[in-house]
Amino acid sequence: MISVDAALEALFKLVSPLPTEAVALKDAAGRVLAEEATATRAQPPFDASAMDGYACRAADAHAGARLKVIGEAAAGARFAGHVSSGEAVRIFTGAPLPSGADHVEIQENADRDGDTITLTDPAAPGRWVRPAGGDFEVGAKLSAPRRLGPADIALLAAMNTPAPRVTRRPDVAIISTGDELVMPGETPRDDQIIASNAVALHALLAGAGALPRMLPIARDTEESLSSVFRFARGADLIVTIGGASVGDHDLVRGVATEAGMAPSFYRVAMRPGKPLMAGRLGATPILGLPGNPVSSLVCGHIFLLPMLRVMLGLPAALAPRVTARLAHDLPAGGPREHYARARVARGEVHIFDRQDSSLLTVFAEANALAVIPPDAPARPRGAEIELVLLDTNSEHP
Q: Name the residues that contact Mg ion, by CB under 5 A.
A: 178, 242-243
Report in angstroms how near the CB of residue 200 gets to ligand AMP at its nearest: 8
CA distance 392 to 39: 35
CA distance 93 to 53: 8
Q: Which stretch binds ligand AMP (CB under 6 A): 69-77, 116-124, 243-251, 335-343?
A: 243-251
CB-CB contact of 333 with 373 (8 Å): yes
In the chain, count of helices (H) and strands (E)? 8, 28
Contacted entry of Mg ion, ligand AMP, none for residue 180, CB cut-off 5 to 8 Å set by kind: ligand AMP
Report in angstroms how near the CB of residue 253 gets to ligand AMP at its nearest: 11
255 binds ligand AMP (CB under 6 A): no
CB-CB contact of 179 with 66 (8 Å): no
Contacted entry of ligand AMP, Mg ion, none for residue 163, CB cut-off 5 to 8 Å set by kind: none
CA distance 186 to 174: 19
197 binds ligand AMP (CB under 6 A): yes
In the bound state, the residue with its beta carbon closest to Mg ion is 178
**Would you say 73 or 217 has its CB closer to ligand AMP?**
217
Contacted entry of ligand AMP, Mg ion, none for residue 20, CB cut-off 5 to 8 Å set by kind: none
Per DSSP, the three-state class of 15 is coil
**Would you say 161 or 197 has its CB closer to ligand AMP?**
197
195 binds ligand AMP (CB under 6 A): yes
174 binds ligand AMP (CB under 6 A): no
**Would you say 87 or 180 has its CB closer to ligand AMP?**
180
Q: What is the DSSP letter of 109?
A: G
Q: Which stretch binds ligand AMP (CB under 6 A): 73-81, 225-233, 241-249, 265-273?
A: 241-249
Q: Does the CA dihedral 200-211-316-154 come out positive or negative?
A: negative
User: Nearest-CA neighbor of 281 among 255, 256, 244?
Assistant: 256
Site for ligand AMP in 275-294 (CB under 6 A): 290-293
CA distance 52 to 50: 7
User: Nearest-CA neighbor of 237 among 302, 137, 333, 305?
Assistant: 305
| CA-only gyration radius of the chain, Å | 30
181 binds ligand AMP (CB under 6 A): yes
DSSP 163-201: S-EEEPPPEEEEEEB-TTEE-TTS---TT-EE--HHHHH
Exposed/middle/buried for residue 309 (C-beta within 10 Å: 0-12, 13-18, 19+)? buried
In the bound state, the residue with its beta carbon closest to ligand AMP is 291
333 binds ligand AMP (CB under 6 A): no
CA distance 263 to 243: 16
Report in angstroms how near the CB of residue 202 gets to ligand AMP at its nearest: 11
Report in angstroms how near the CB of residue 289 gets to Mg ion at its nearest: 12
Strand partners, 32: 147
196 binds ligand AMP (CB under 6 A): yes
Contacted entry of Mg ion, ligand AMP, none for residue 313, CB cut-off 5 to 8 Å set by kind: none
Site string for ligand AMP, 198-227 (x = CB under 6 A): x-----------------------------
Indicate which single residue of 44, 243, 306, 333 sits in contact with ligand AMP (rule: CB under 6 A).
243
Q: Binding residues for ligand AMP, per CB under 6 A?
A: 176, 178, 180-181, 193, 195-198, 241-245, 247, 250, 290-293
